[in-house]
Amino acid sequence: MARINPSILAADFVNMERDLARIASADLVHVDVMDNHFVPNLTFGPQMVGRIQDVSAIPLDVHLMIDDPERWAPGYAELGAASVTFHVEASSDPVALARRLRDRGARAGIALKPGTEPDPYLELLDEFDQVLVMTVEPGFGGQSFMPETMPKLRRLRDAVTARGLDVWLQVDGGITEETIATAAESGADTFVAGSAVFRSDDPSAMIAVLRERAAEHRH
């Protein structure tokens, strides 16, 4: 199954509820939380995410691009987010934090920046529900897809398959009708798309196109 999670970073913040309604066919809503420290951008905090949770008919897929996720991540699970992903580069103990998130009822994900290798985490994959491979440098939407991140994704897919695990492999950054095929062939099954969805004339139709393209090229 190919999951399409539109990123509300590309939505109209003033008309958030309207834009959420336009992506009702999505699997989850991707919410980028940035703190202007871990990445050079500032977006939402818990209060805004809580309001999105209140009005969204679709589960939230929260991506924390923040320092000190040990302090902040559990709160997003307590808000009701279906999935909470934090960056391994910012975490002092990813396994312990993932267990805390699961204890609070959320799926636990780890994210890897383009320059971060997955090898230290391959033996720990059963501790996580999702691994997010960033296909751009985190911090800003609208960047171009980095194909050089695909070998990392393939290593993760091989490890997940070899161990028979149910770990979602997500990609985020520059996902379009063209690049989603490359990512799917490399093993991704969950795709974050911002500009491609929200800047199309019909976001719901674009979600269907992306889902179909991913399914055609599935690893």
Q: Which residues share a beta bridge with 104?
A: none
Catalytic residue among 32, 35, 61, 189: 32
The answer to whether residues 10 and 141 touch, using CB atoms and an 8 Å cutoff, is: yes
Containing 101, the helix (H) or strand (E) segment is helix 94-103
CA-nearest of 30, 56, 1, 201 to 132 is 30
Distance CA 68, CA 70 (A): 5
Please say if 19 is a catalytic residue: no
Three-class SS of residue 158?
helix
The answer to whether residues 197 and 180 touch, using CB atoms and an 8 Å cutoff, is: no
The strand ranges marked E within the chain are 3-6, 29-34, 60-65, 83-87, 107-112, 130-134, 168-172, 190-193
Please say if 32 is a catalytic residue: yes
Catalytic residue among 61, 129, 172, 189: 172
Catalogue the active-site residues: 32, 172
